[in-house]
A and B are shown apart, each in its own frame.
Chain A
């Protein structure tokens, strides 16, 4: 079969992927730089294509709670937003994690704190990977660095979310959302029929069958002993995810003396910087965590045994670098280079940082 290739914006690719993945419902609220997701869906009218529900909510808070409501009934549901909007969703995300529901949340990050700027940033790394809302929970966090990955990770995120009954996040940044690239589209998947949902997901509230026990969705338990057991069960699930679901791309690490660790747009910049450094004869490799949580601790720890130093490049004040340092545990120097406020580092800046902080130093 001939490949279906299209030139698309990252946000549009994500929206088209949602339709073709057989998503049942999208609930969103406009915010720059991710409004194209809702706009694309509104123009595509997927309710005519697949029966997919698309609704512009009155706020990010309402949107995430619509997602919670839909997820509790076993449907494949998602929302998307950008940093300030994702902050508003944190309460709902905590409830989704606590009630153990599968859902996809997309954050096309812009600069913060506060209303910040509309230009790309990666300063929500902590929020995404360390919990974000209240309570002990984790989000499976996927970081795309191309428009193709914006498309592909919709599938990956839902696979993982349903496998573990836990929310997953695509953590992109404004550059990935706004830029245009070629995307290979996949064939349309059918949405699950209602009867199939009832059969596959007995935990979902789909109406209490005569003489059967009712099901209910909640994150509340007023019995602290029982609730501690629930927390232990959540932690056991997160441990399993950490052991089994790490995705990481490693380039030129075989002979590398120095490593750059970067994700998303920073990884694209760092890829170019690696090439420039190699042209000058420096043996530099790139590690690109695709799952930011679970973090590729083992892979980075192993590299720390053989390389001289690591430079972490991020569009923030230094967030992922803390996880890199935990993995390295003081064995080799771990340096950081970052830009903030919506600025994107240039490859030359990364080259200079590598030379000044590690190679020359």
Chain B
């Protein structure tokens, strides 16, 4: 058999738009849990956003969190169950706007959790509004003529910011739009989980993803647009590795 669905994904039909990267990000996260054989010791935290129902798809024990509060919820879990593997799965609005304080302080305390951050530069669930990571000039329903930095502020590179914090052990940026990228992202999640179990500190993985519905493009076109526009501003690769910033 070439491909088999991990039993750690439920049979529920994904609520994501066809072509969206969330499903792949969910799957590789759960595949890593399965391959590591740690299902009984995993606790996940779902955000508010498109992946608000992540706990319906990921077949492990999970908690829903209020908008932006996933790192605080995960902190409560991890401090009280220090031997569990705790991860959050959050979008850009959740992690980098309303939850900025929780994100930065959980990372700054070096909470032994893994944060999986899906950055598609838009509020998908509420219908395509401007996100903290929306690129300059990029159109959204609340920046219909494109993001103007002098009025709306600049796109926030929160991942680079977080990498500066001493409590953070590793930070890397990935994509899931091509098989090679998916394999790389999956290896990074596995490494992050292993580092967490070795109590190394916060591990942070950004996945730059498309939002074909919100961007109003076909899935194929949106992936091309992502490579062309998102990757130059949010370059893929390691930002901090094993506790050291990558030059």
Chain A interface (Cβ < 8 Å from any Cβ of B): 24-25, 27, 53, 55, 57-59, 61-63, 65-73, 75, 77, 91-92, 95, 99, 194, 205-210, 214-220, 222
CB–CB B81/A73 < 8 A: yes
**Residues in chain B near residue A69, CB distance under 8 A:** 45, 63, 65, 72-77
Tally of chain B residues near chain A (CB < 8 A): 32
**Which of B40, B55, B76, B102 sits near A58, CB closer than 8 Å?**
B102
CB–CB B63/A58 < 8 A: no
Q: How far is the CA of A300 from the CA of B63 in the complex (A)?
A: 42
CB–CB B69/A70 < 8 A: no
**Which of A61, A75, A91 sits near B80, CB closer than 8 Å?**
A75
CB nearest neighbor in B for A68: B73
**Residues in chain B near residue A70, CB distance under 8 A:** 76-77, 79-80
Given contacts A207-B40, A210-B40, A220-B64, contact A73 B72 (CB under 8 A): no
B182 within 8 A of A: no
CB–CB B76/A67 < 8 A: yes
Chain B interface (Cβ < 8 Å from any Cβ of A): 39-43, 45-46, 52-53, 55, 59-66, 69, 72-77, 79-81, 84, 101-102, 105
Please report the number of residue pairs spanning A and B whose Cβ atoms sit closer than 8 angstroms: 126
Q: How far is the CA of A358 from the CA of B82 in the complex (A)?
A: 60
**Which of A53, A59, A207 sits near B79, CB closer than 8 Å?**
A53
Q: How far is the CA of A208 from the CA of B34 in the complex (A)?
A: 12
Q: Closest CB of chain A to B89's CB: distance in Å?
A: 13
Q: How far is the CA of A24 from the CA of B76 in the complex (A)?
A: 10
Given contacts A69-B72, A69-B75, contact A208 B80 (CB under 8 A): no
CB–CB A62/B39 < 8 A: no
Q: How far is the CA of A70 from the CA of B81 in the complex (A)?
A: 9
**Residues in chain B near residue A220, CB distance under 8 A:** 52-53, 64
**Residues in chain B near residue A68, CB distance under 8 A:** 63, 65-66, 69, 73, 76
Q: A65-B69, A77-B80 are in contact. List 11 more A-B contacts (CB 8 A).
A: A25-B79, A55-B75, A59-B101, A61-B69, A61-B72, A69-B63, A206-B43, A207-B41, A207-B61, A208-B39, A208-B40
Among B45, B77, B105, the one with the most A-chain Cβ atoms within 10 Å of its Cβ is B77
CB nearest neighbor in B for A206: B61
Among A24, A70, A77, the one with the most B-chain Cβ atoms within 10 Å of its Cβ is A70
Q: How far is the CA of A91 from the CA of B52 in the complex (A)?
A: 17
**Residues in chain A near residue B66, CB distance under 8 A:** 65, 68, 91-92, 95
**Residues in chain A near residue B45, CB distance under 8 A:** 69
**Residues in chain A near residue B81, CB distance under 8 A:** 73, 75, 194, 206
Among B73, B76, B79, the one with the most A-chain Cβ atoms within 10 Å of its Cβ is B76
Q: How far is the CA of A206 from the CA of B73 in the complex (A)?
A: 14
**Residues in chain B near residue A63, CB distance under 8 A:** 72
**Residues in chain A near residue B61, CB distance under 8 A:** 205-208, 214-216
A/B interface sample: 7 pairs, CB < 8 A: A61-B69, A62-B102, A66-B79, A73-B43, A205-B62, A205-B63, A207-B84
CB nearest neighbor in A for B64: A218
Q: How far is the CA of A208 from the CA of B43 in the complex (A)?
A: 8
Q: How far is the CA of A215 from the CA of B60 in the complex (A)?
A: 7
Q: Closest CB of chain B to A72's CB: distance in Å?
A: 5
Q: How far is the CA of A215 from the CA of B66 in the complex (A)?
A: 18
Q: How far is the CA of A330 from the CA of B63 in the complex (A)?
A: 47
**Residues in chain B near residue A77, CB distance under 8 A:** 76, 80
**Residues in chain B near residue A73, CB distance under 8 A:** 43, 76-77, 80-81
Q: Closest CB of chain B to A13's CB: distance in Å?
A: 24
Among A59, A62, A91, A222, the one with the most B-chain Cβ atoms within 10 Å of its Cβ is A62
CB–CB B52/A217 < 8 A: no
**Residues in chain B near residue A214, CB distance under 8 A:** 59-62
Q: How far is the CA of A207 from the CA of B63 in the complex (A)?
A: 11
CB nearest neighbor in A for B81: A73
Q: How far is the CA of A63 from the CA of B42 in the complex (A)?
A: 22
CB–CB B69/A24 < 8 A: no
Q: Closest CB of chain B to A29's CB: distance in Å?
A: 11
Q: How far is the CA of A214 from the CA of B8 in the complex (A)?
A: 10
Q: How far is the CA of A210 from the CA of B80 in the complex (A)?
A: 22
Q: How far is the CA of A71 from the CA of B46 in the complex (A)?
A: 16
